[in-house]
A and B are shown apart, each in its own frame.
Chain A
Amino acid sequence: MPSIKLVNVSNFILRKVSLDVLDGELIVVLGPSGAGKTTLLNVIAGLVNYEGSVLFDGEPVDDLKPCERGVGFVPQDLALFTHLNVEENIAFGLKMKGVKGDELRRRVREVMELLNIEHLAHRYPLTLSGGEQQRVAIARAVALRPKVLLMDEPFNNLDLSLRRRLRMELKALQKKLGLTTVFVTHDVIEAEELADRVAVLVKGELKCVGPFNCVFFENEDPVVKEVLGSPNILKCTGFKVVHEGLAEVECEGLKLLAPHDEGVVRKIAIPPERIILMNKPNPASKFNTLKGVIEEVLKEGSYYKIRVSIGNVSLLCIKPEDEYNPSLNVGNEVYVKIPIKHVRALCTP
């Protein structure tokens, strides 16, 4: 499988995007809607016009048509051919390439086995469940043994548990086939679970590229932080394992419990929408409860952004309008509860 290189790619939405995707790597392009994520995929596939250059394995492919580039494409709405059954959907690309007879049947069967959909061969796409449709779309995309797999938020319309399962399946398939993959999403969790590396795209500009933890914990750019859900990042100085999988950490003066894997906890991230604000502490659940003062309350759309200062730390909390408590005024004391399971820890050996 080849590497992909984008050099100064610009068009109606993208602005001088340069990106290297390594051979066999799964890169997740993370960004809000309208950032140009789909356009980036369309550029790699050769489906839209652009300036700049796209190279597969160092060879420019700018003059090649979409079908000559060797890309497998799974769009957001899957775009399954509803008038063809599963087998015919998967065979379509092969037939267009002139594959016939026994070889066609063998290759279609191979791909169906790979995705565990042999039993659906004669069903029509609209009679399948959401997860089955996903698998068919992926099967159709990989049937031509593409050099590059492009996926545009394919798991968007599925429930959480199914998304999780399909993510794992996709990751396994991608590693097995060694497919260089560009996966587009706005979902941070999806990026964390899938990505070898993450690229953050905002308003057509590539903001940063790197391993998920690196981007998540180290990037200070407010625009990138917003894409990642504006997590509160705290540096940790002290750390002690109190139980398997649980550590007591001291972060910028706050003593908190955080999940722990291996190594030393360097930083923790607290998602602002998970912080619980209370007028008095809950005696039944005292862990990670801190006393603070409300610094600032801002209304943004249907959300309140509340800043609470605890010692030297200022924590951002986000509450939807209907959960907002009117007693949360600037200057008031408030108890902040940080649920352990939502704390993310960056550990280094």
Chain B
Amino acid sequence: MRILQKYFKLEALSIVALFALWEAASRIGIAPAYLFPPFTETLKSLVGLATTGQLGLHYSITLMRVLIGLGMGSSIGILLGLAIAYSELAYRALYPIVTLLYAVPAVAWIPLFIIWIGLNEALPIAVVFLCSFVPMVYTTLTGIRSLSPSIVRVAQTLGARGPAALFYILLPQALPSILAGLKVEAGMAWRTCFVVEMVAASSGLGLLAMTAQSTLRVDVILAIVLILALSNYAFQVMIERAEVRLLRKWGYVR
């Protein structure tokens, strides 16, 4: 725990150092201020955006899209992963399709989805859904496959078959790997949502960044990127906390 605290302090320190370097580089004038505004100016723009209410509005829209897309994508992904891990039939029928889908980056679906779904609220959610769904199927499947086969055997002799074995034993046993996967996919969801909003949405942080680009407001773009980065970071920390708490409770880590 002490090492962990030290680690966090060091982490905070390195971030502060990055911002200081940014500030200094900008202040000594390596580029004109309108192209590379200092950190403090960026913060000011951020506060400005927030006071107009614009940031709050667009941020909550993006957050909602990420939460819905990630939530639905990962939960359905976990369920499908469980089914594929459990049933040989499901494995043979669905695994090739999942593998095919895995090769396609989620953003590659944007042009198609614009035609199929149209430019509406369902579009970014659909893309975020896909980008969480496919990898979570994989993560769940691998998590369960890496469990000792004797776990399943013992569960069988104790009378756990079918869904009972799946939900009471396999799912919780695979939970540590599922949470590790979810951490990665949460980051991916933020990035993907931002990209969709940049190219095909009438709201959200991505749109805000594109609008700022058209008016050459570098400070606003940087402020939005900062918000995106921090949001992602907050998600990671939250999932990691849950993960550590669970692993500590079960005795995987002390």
The interface of chain A, by Cβ under 8 A from chain B, is 42, 45, 47, 65-67, 69, 71-73, 75-77, 79, 81-83, 92-93, 96-97, 124-127, 140, 144
Contacts and interface: CB of A to CB of B under 8 A. Distances in A.
A83 B172 contact: yes
Contacts of A124: 249-251
A96 B157 contact: no
Contacts of B164: 96
Please classify the interface of chain B as helix (H, G, I), strand (E, B), loop, or mixed, using the class held by over half of its residues: helix
A47 B152 CA distance: 10
A206 B169 CA distance: 35
A77 B175 contact: no
A47 B151 CA distance: 12
B151 A79 contact: yes
B156 A82 contact: no
A76 B159 contact: no
B159 A79 contact: no
Contacts of A83: 172-173, 175, 250
Query: Among the interface residues B159, B168, B249, which one has the most CB atoms of the partner chain A within 10 A?
Result: B159
B3 to A, nearest CB: 20
A77 B150 contact: yes
A45 B157 contact: yes
Nearest to A81: B169
A82 B173 contact: yes
B169 A47 contact: no
Top 8 closest pairs, chain A to chain B, by CB: A126-B251, A93-B158, A96-B159, A75-B150, A67-B159, A127-B251, A83-B172, A79-B150
Nearest to A48: B153
Contacts of A126: 250-252
A282 to B, nearest CB: 49
Contacts of A77: 148, 150
Given A47-B156, A81-B151, 16 more contacts: A47-B153, A47-B157, A66-B156, A67-B158, A71-B157, A73-B153, A75-B153, A75-B154, A79-B148, A82-B250, A82-B251, A83-B172, A93-B158, A93-B159, A96-B158, A126-B252
A76 B150 contact: yes
Nearest to A41: B153
A69 B159 CA distance: 10
30 contacts: A47-B156, A65-B156, A65-B161, A66-B156, A67-B156, A67-B160, A67-B161, A69-B157, A72-B157, A73-B157, A75-B148, A75-B150, A76-B150, A77-B150, A79-B151, A79-B154, A82-B252, A83-B173, A83-B175, A92-B158, A92-B160, A93-B157, A93-B158, A93-B159, A96-B159, A96-B160, A96-B164, A124-B251, A126-B252, A140-B158
